[in-house]
A and B are shown apart, each in its own frame.
Chain A
Amino acid sequence: MTPQIETAGLGFVYPDGTRALEGVDLRIGSGELVAIIGQNGSGKSTLVRHFNGLLRATEGTVSVGGMPVARRHVAELARTVGVVFQNPDRQIFAGSVRREVEFGAGNLGYRGADLARRVTDALALVGLGDAVRHNPYDLGFSRRKLLAMASVLAMGTSAVVLDEPTTGQDARGVDRVRAIVRSLVDEGRTVIAISHDMRFVVEAFPRLVVMRAGRIVLDGTPEEVFAEQEWPVLASTFLEPTLAARVGAQRGLGSTPTEDALIAALRGRGGSA
C-alpha cells in the first residue's frame, strides 16, 4: 500500500550551512498514528516542515500521497497535510474564534453551509463550542492552543501533524488532546505528533520515531523503543524511559512502557512482585 507520507534519504542543510537532517528514511501509512520524539534541535520540527513543503529537501526525496512534493506549492500540500504549530500566538490573528477557525478551511475553498459545519464540528471536537464569538485573546493560553488545533482540523486534511500539543496544558487539557487524537484516528486520519511528554506518547501512540542530531535512531512500538537494550540509545538523546518501563525492567518483566503494561505483566506473573 502506498504510504501517505514517505521520505527517502532526506537531508536538509540550512543556507548558513547548519545540517538539520541526514539520511532520513520514513514511511507513514494512511491512518497511522505516529509520535516523533527527541530533544529540541534533533530535527523533529524541521522534518515535519518537509511534509507540507515549507522546507524543501537538499538531499533525497519527500512524497505525499504517493507523489513527490518537488514542484507542489505549500498551499496545495496543505490540502493533504495540516500542521498545528507549537505556539498559537504565532498564528492567531482574527477577532473572533469563529473567524480564526474559518481561515484554514476558507483558504482551501470551503464556503457557506459546508464551511459553517466544519467550523462547528472542529470547535466541538476541541471543546471550544461555547466560545465561538469570543475574542481569541480572551481565552487562556492553553485554550488558544486548542483553537489553533481547531483551525487546522476544520481544514479536513487526511493527515494532521501536531507540534507539542500537550506543552503548557494542565491535566484536563492533556485529556482533551488525547480525546482529540482518538477522534481523528476514528475518522481515519493520519496523526503525527511531536512531543516531549513521554507518558502521553507511550500511552496514545503505537509507533514512536526517535530522533537525534537530524537522524532517526529508533523506530518502533513503545515496547520496542523502551526495551532495556535500547536505553543507551535513549540516554544519548537525553530521553528517559518511563517509570513503568524502569520498574518492569528492574523486576525482569520485559518491556513495560505503560502503566497498563506493567500491571498486566505483574498480574501475569502471579499478582505480586
Chain B
Amino acid sequence: MTLQLAAATYRYAGAAGPSLHEIDLELAPGDLLGVVGPNDAGKSTLCLVAAGLAPATIQGQLSGTVTIDGLDTRSARPHELAQRAGILFQNAVTQLSGTSATVWEEIAFGPRNLGLARAEVIERVEEAAARLAIADLCARDPERLSGGQAQLVALASILAMRPAYLLLDEPTSQLDPQGTRLVGEALAGIAARGETGILITEHKTDLLDRLCTSVLVIEEGRIARQGAAAEILADPGLPAAGVEPPARVRLMAAARAAGVELDPEPP
C-alpha cells in the first residue's frame, strides 16, 4: 500500500495554468523523501495534492490520479483523507485550533472530531506526545509556546490521526536553529520506526542531507530530477535549479575548484 501520484496535473481555481504537470510519484511507509526547488515551483502544491486537500478542500482541477492506500483523493471526504495522510504547514500558529486551553486538549482535537471512544482518544494523545517527547508540554497553553514547540504540537496533533503518510511543507522555515533541530530530530525518530512515509519540502538542504533517503527536484511544476539523496544533493547542476546545495557539498566543490584535497566528515 502506498501513496501514489500518477500523471497528476493540478490547476488552482481561477489560475491561468496548472501548478503541477504530470507528476509521477510513489511514497511507501518508511520512505523519507525530500523535495527541493525554487519558490513557486510547486512544492506546496505537491503537498496539498498528495494529501488530497487539493481538490477536496481548496477546489481547483486535478487530472491524473492520486491514491492514498488505494483511496482516490478525488472522491474521498476530507475526514477520510485526514486519517491517511497528515499535512504540516510552515506557519505553526494557524494550524493550532485556537480553542484548546492545553496542549493535551489540542492534540485530542482531531481524534475527538472522529468521534472515537474516550479511552481511545486518551491513548492516541499519550502516544503522540510520547513519540515526540513533548509530554512535559501537555499542560501548557498552546498559544504560549515557542515556534519550534508549536510545530511539534501541530505535528503531534497530526500524528494523533495515525496517518500512514506525512506531508511536511517547509516545516522549519520559520523556526530558529533550535526549533529546526527539535523538528528535525522528531522527524528522524518517526522515520526510524519505518511505519510512516514522509515527504518533506525544504530549502534547508543540510537538513534533508541528514534525514532523507531520496530527493526530488521540482521546477515549474515538473519533476526535474529524482534519485538517492546523496546523489541528487551532490549534483553540480543544483544551484542552477535555484537550490542551495548542503554545506558539505559546497565545501567539496569549492575545494575541488581550488585544487585542494579535502574529505570533511559528514555534517
Contacts and interface: CB of A to CB of B under 8 A. Distances in A.
Interface in A118-169: 140-142, 167-169
Interface stretch (B46-54, B130-138, B170-178, B226-234): B170-178
A140 B181 CA distance: 27
B39 interface: yes
Interface string B124-155: 00000000000000000000001100000000
Contact of A243 (B146, B251, B259): B251
Interface of B: 37-40, 90, 146-147, 170, 173-174, 176-179, 181, 203, 239, 242-244, 247-248, 250-251, 254-255, 258-265, 267
Contacts of A40: 146-147, 176, 179
A269 to B, nearest CB: 9
13 contacts: A39-B177, A168-B90, A169-B39, A170-B37, A170-B244, A171-B243, A172-B242, A173-B39, A198-B177, A247-B262, A266-B255, A266-B258, A267-B258
A167 B174 contact: yes
A263 interface: yes
Contact of A259 (B40, B250, B267): B250
A243 B249 CA distance: 11
Nearest to A44: B176
A198 B244 CA distance: 14
Given A141-B39, A170-B38, A263 B260 contact: yes
Contacts, number: 86
Contacts of B38: 170-172
Interface of A: 39-41, 140-142, 167-174, 196, 198-199, 238-240, 242-244, 247, 250, 259-260, 262-263, 266-267, 271-273
B260 A267 contact: yes
- Chain B binding site: helix, strand, loop or mixed by DSSP? loop
Nearest to A172: B242
A243 B260 contact: no
B37 to A, nearest CB: 8
A163 to B, nearest CB: 13
Contact of A170 (B39, B146, B147, B181): B39
B261 A271 contact: yes
B171 to A, nearest CB: 13
Contacts of A271: 259-261
B264 A243 contact: yes
Nearest to B179: A40
A172 B146 CA distance: 29
- The 6 nearest A-B residue pairs measured at CB: A243-B247, A238-B178, A272-B261, A171-B244, A40-B176, A170-B38
A244 B261 contact: no
